[in-house]
Amino acid sequence: MIAEAQEIQGNRLLTPVRVGTRTLKNRVAITCHVYGLEVYDPGESGDSHAAYIARRAEGPGLIGITGIVPPTADEIRPGMLEGFAEKFRRLADIVHEHGGVAVIQILGTGAKWRSGLFGKRVPWKGEALWAFSPVQSDLGTEVAHAMSSGEIESLIEGWGVMSEVAVAAGLDGIELHGAQGYLLQQSISPWMNFRKDKWGEPLAFYKAVLDRTRAAIGPDGILGLRYATDDLRPPEQGGLGRDRLREIAVELVSGGQIDYVNPSEGSASYHYSHAIGTYRRPHGDFLPGASALRQAIGAKVPVIGVGRITNVDHAEAALARGDCDIVGLTRAHIADPDIVKKLFRGERNRIRPCVGANTGCIDRNALGLPVRCFHNPEAGRESEIEDLSQADAPRRILVVGAGPAGLKAAEIAARRGHDVVIMDKRTYPGGRLATITDRTSAYEMLGAVHWIGKELELLGVEMRLGTEVNAALLESEKFDTVILATGSKPAEHRLDTDGSVPVLSTDEAMEALSDAQFTNVLVHDVLGSEEIAVVVEQFAAAGVKVTTTTPNPSVGQFLGWTHMGDHVPRLLALGCAIEERTMVTGIAGGCVMTVDQLSAQKKTRPFDALIWGHSRLPDVTLEDAARQICGDVHVIGDANAPRDAMLAFLQGETAGRAV
């Protein structure tokens, strides 16, 4: 109780705040985001979405249950709204059970994304995107259909009807999405709206939507606005700029219909790497804009602070400065649903951090896949897995390998009551992930390793680093179960080389970076993955001249959506040379030879090293001996199949539950 009181005292996050007609129990928000597209599919039960929300509902004062693109009034069919209402009612009940306030976000795509994306909601028959003017989608070649005045009115009515359905089903209110390039923001952009009728007046659509939504939810409902404080466009591309956007916000808020503002930045799909940034973006990077907006509107309504606020320390600092009134901790809650609970228990230091990886959450979401988490394998799988149970018969378990898979397997097995020992030949935990240094912000991902290491210590797991496991050790120690998380090794490169330029695997290169005197290296990126992106950025940030080649059409070909937008600008800022559709053909006389696959142009250049970003092979050297000595053997992570760290954490979780 003393620790709890000390933790809560002075903690602004846990104080109530008034939003419209509701009082939030605390200042923590999970902002609206699309967990998955099942909410749009009449044939889906919504169980997965409901379980995802339920796992996080106990803590935050405000929860955005999802975002939705409503049908127009002309698209509404019998039974359609009842299906939505059933799902809304279920989610509202979940949030209200824990004293939270639930809202849903309404948006229109306009000239954004592609037509037919939400075809399960209304059968798609080839209808075009709808926008104010015939402009090209920001993500493809489609030109949007310019809505007639009647179609605009049908769209507004559809939004109003959906708002009525939402509040009738028990939701507390609506958030309108007017940022990140969606339809509301398009309405005020001269680049996207150059109509000559009444809908060409910049605030005509905004005001009509606000009027219809407020009429739908009544004076008791909460009406929030997601709003861009910076459109990230120059004036020649229709950018309004921060000052003009604040003026518009003041006018909208002064109308008295808006109960809170949720700021963001950007006005296009390609701004997502900024709007929902990876570890490359600064923490709290939208807070200056939120603070300026809050001052401009005279703090008449609460403002939510968002933008890479990944832990409670960032959140507390934002509230203390007066940047905002509520803090969005959305990705933080994907990583750890128990943030508020841990604050009340005085366990701030046990909160699992969001490390800005984005590979499980935003980058999957952009592909229409359900949300997951880089190092919380339970996220998004709540309906598929049971609560951890204690083992019927505790066993003595050896985990070989302290990388992501091994660490996670050890944690889960220990939570279930097993006696767990981890051994690794390296002198540090984290596997290849731990070779990342603080030269770049990718180092933040090691927060996953640091967190799990602290948990293992609290769980009493014995960790023997710098220990080579062999058959003799297995014979002498007699474990009931062996989990092999021994990782992977580089595949043979098969290059024609005279050995005059060393060929290094990515992990060899990272380990050598601290000691070797590299000045000029070539990184050959065959994988197009985040692993190679991190290596290139680490070397360039260390002051090494880096040329990166790839046989693929682009560097980072298979990076996630938010990483794509950041990686190449980062390379250019660091002075890297980029050569795409290029193969490495050999090494001779201290030079690396390359050929452009399109022009057939050949180059021969000197480099200190060639870093070979190629595929890897499982390291299962110990498997046969382990199976002969201990019958119960599990092979996980890269030792099972070399993939990425997120999947290694997932396999570790699965193994820990299975033993």
CATH number of the domain enclosing 202: 3.20.20.70
Return the pLDDT at 167.
99
For residue 43, how far is the Cα from the chain centroid? Answer: 27
Distances in whole angstroms, Cα of residue 295 to Cα of each of 301, 325, 503:
11, 12, 57
- With beta carbons less than 8 A apart as the criterion, state whether 132 and 109 touch: no
Return the pLDDT at 37.
64
Do 418 and 443 sit in the same domain of this protein?
yes
Question: Range with the lowest mean pLDDT among 3-7, 540-544, 609-613?
Answer: 3-7
Sign for the pseudo-dihedral over CA of 239, 243, 244, 246: positive
Do 350 and 312 sit in the same domain of this protein?
yes
Do 411 and 353 sit in the same domain of this protein?
no
Does pLDDT of 4 surpass 90?
Answer: no
Question: Range with the lowest mean pLDDT among 8-17, 219-228, 536-545?
Answer: 8-17
Residues in the chain: 659
Instruction: Give the tens place of pLDDT for each residue, 81-112.
Output: 999 999 999 999 999 999 999 999 999 999 98
Look up residue 136 and give its DSSP letter: B
Domain final residue pick, 344, 365, 386:
365
Instruction: Give the tens place of pLDDT for each residue, 341-382.
Output: 999 999 999 999 999 999 999 999 888 889 999 999 999 999
Give the residue among 629, 611, 398 at the shortest CA–CA distance from 522.
Answer: 611
Q: What is the domain range of residue 415?
A: 396-489+618-658
Residue 320 lies in a domain: yes
Do 439 and 328 sit in the same domain of this protein?
no
Residue 138 lies in a domain: yes
Residue 286 lies in a domain: yes
DSSP three-state, residue 164: helix
CATH of residue 623's domain is 3.40.50.720
CATH of residue 603's domain is 3.50.50.60
Instruction: Give the tens place of pLDDT for each residue, 412-436.
Output: 999 999 999 999 999 999 999 999 9
Each residue of 284-299: b (16+ CB within 10 Å) or e? bbbbebbbbbbebbee
* Rounded mean pLDDT, 384-399: 95
Do 480 and 507 sit in the same domain of this protein?
no
Alpha carbons 350 and 223: distance in angstroms, whole number = 35
Query: Per the structure, how many domains does the chain have?
Result: 3
- With beta carbons less than 8 A apart as the criterion, state whether 207 and 152 touch: no
Q: Name the pTM for this structure.
A: 0.95
DSSP three-state, residue 464: strand
- With beta carbons less than 8 A apart as the criterion, state whether 499 and 591 touch: no
Q: What pLDDT band is residue 9 in, cutting at 50, 70 and 90? A: very low
Do 466 and 481 sit in the same domain of this protein?
yes
Do 341 and 407 sit in the same domain of this protein?
no
Do 81 and 110 sit in the same domain of this protein?
yes
Place of tokens 């595949």: 491
The residues pairing with 489 across neighbouring beta strands, listed in sequence order, are 617
CA angle 113, 379, 650 (to 5 degrees): 105
Return the pLDDT at 608.
96
Do 448 and 502 sit in the same domain of this protein?
no
Residue 405 lies in a domain: yes
Domain final residue pick, 365, 384, 413:
365
Work out the angle between the directed axes of helices 404-415 and 447-458 (0-180°, nearest 10): 30
Distances in whole angstroms, Cα of residue 385 to Cα of each of 51, 65, 156, 202, 377:
10, 21, 41, 49, 10
Residue 284 lies in a domain: yes
- With beta carbons less than 8 A apart as the criterion, state whether 116 and 106 touch: no
Q: Which H or E element spans position 228?
A: strand 222-230
Residue 52 lies in a domain: yes
Q: What percent of the chain has pLDDT over 90?
A: 87
Q: What pLDDT band is residue 140 in, cutting at 50, 70 and 90? A: confident
Return the pLDDT at 8.
47
Neighbours of 539 (CB within 10 A): 25
Do 502 and 604 sit in the same domain of this protein?
yes
Give the residue among 161, 258, 141, 282 at the shortest CA–CA distance from 206.
Answer: 258
Do 334 and 410 sit in the same domain of this protein?
no
Do 515 and 589 sit in the same domain of this protein?
yes
Residue 353 lies in a domain: yes
Instruction: Give the tens place of pLDDT for each residue, 259-275.
Output: 999 999 999 888 988 99
Place of tokens 């120059």: 234
Alpha carbons 249 and 294: distance in angstroms, whole number = 10
Phi, psi dihedrals of residue 181, rounded to the nearest 5°: 85, 10
Does pLDDT of 2 surpass 60?
Answer: no
Residue 16 lies in a domain: yes
Phi, psi dihedrals of residue 607, rounded to the nearest 5°: -140, 155
